[in-house]
Amino acid sequence: MGSMKNLKWISLVVILATRAAFAQSSPEEEMLFSESLSGRYSQQILQIADNSSCASYSWKNRGHAPKGYVKGVALNFARSICRLRVNTRNNAAQVMSMANTHSDAKDALTHYESVFAALKISVNEAGESNLRSIYTLGLGLGMRESSGKYCEGWDTSAGSHRPSSAGEAGTFQVSYDSIGATPALQQLYSEYQANTDRCMLDIFKEGASCRAQSILGTGAGADFQRFNKACPAFATEYAMTLLRVLRGHFGPINRREAEVKLQCNQMLASVQQLVDSNPSGACQELY
C-alpha cells in the first residue's frame, strides 16, 4: 500500500515538473521545432565553423559569440550559395551577391568598401565572392546588434510608443517596416513560413542565453518579431539581403561599428570551397 502511495507521489511530481517546463519555455520554442542538419556536408560545415579562428575571436565590446551563432551563419551561407545557383527572379542570394552598386545610401558593401579594401577584398564583381563579403560583414553586425543571440527582442531604450512594425527582433534586429525594400524579402518570409523545418533554431540556440521579453504591439509587425526569434535561418538570410538594399536600417552599419574580420571571411571561404566541390550533392542536402 505504501509503495502505491509513493508511486502516485512520483507520478504527480513528474506531471508538475513537465507542466513547469512547458510554462518556462518561450512561445517561439513551442511554435517551431527544427531538427539539426545531420548530413555529410552539414556536419563538415559545422566542424569548419567550430574549429575556425572566427569562432574563437573576441568581438570588440561583445566578447565571444555563442557557439551556435557562427555555426548557424556558416550553414546559412552555404544555403545562400545554393540559392544563388537557382535561377529565379528576385532570388535573395542574387540580391546579396550583386556587384558593388556604388549607392552609399543603400548598399552596405559600398559603405564598407574602404574597410574591405584594407583587407584586400574586392566587392566590385557580382557572385559568390560578394556573397561571402556580405556574410562576413553580417557576422560582425549580428555581434553588435545582439551579441549573436537569436532570441533578442525589441530595443527597450527606443521606447514602446511605436507601431509593432518598428519593433526590432532577432539576431540582426530587423523590423517589419523593412519588408518592402525588395520583393526578395517577402519571398523569403513566405518561403520560411511555409517550411519551418528550415529554421535551424536548434543550431543557433547552442550557447545562447535568452531572457523573457514581451513582443512589441500586435498584428503583422508582432508576428514578424516572433518569427525572427523563432526562425534564425530566416532572420539571417533576411538581414544579409537587407544589407544590400537598405543599409540605413542598421545603426551599427551606418556608424561602421560592425567589425569585418578576415578570419571570418576565410572560414566562409572554406565553406564555399566545400559546397563548390560538389554543388549537386551539397545543395541537395543544404537547400
Q: Do residues 85 and 282 lie in contact, with contact meaning Cβ atoms separated by under 8 Å?
A: no
Tens of pLDDT along the chain (287 residues)?
444 344 334 333 333 333 333 233 344 443 444 455 789 999 999 999 999 999 999 999 999 999 999 999 999 999 999 999 887 777 999 999 999 999 999 999 999 999 999 999 999 999 999 999 999 999 999 999 999 999 999 998 889 999 999 999 999 999 999 999 999 999 999 999 999 999 999 999 999 998 888 999 999 999 999 999 999 999 999 999 999 999 999 999 999 999 999 999 999 999 999 999 999 999 999 99
Which set of grid coordinates corresponds to residue 5? 502511495
Q: Do residues 78 and 286 lie in contact, with contact meaning Cβ atoms separated by under 8 Å?
A: yes
d(CA 189, CA 196): 11
Q: Which residues have C-beta within 8 Å of that of residue 162, sequence separation ≥ 6?
A: 216, 217
d(CA 3, CA 1): 5
Alpha-carbon distances, residue 260 vs 60, 127, 257 (angstroms) = 11, 19, 9
Dihedral over Cα of 118, 260, 167, 162: its sign? negative
Domain residue ranges in the chain: 29-286
Residue with the three cell numbers 504527480: 12
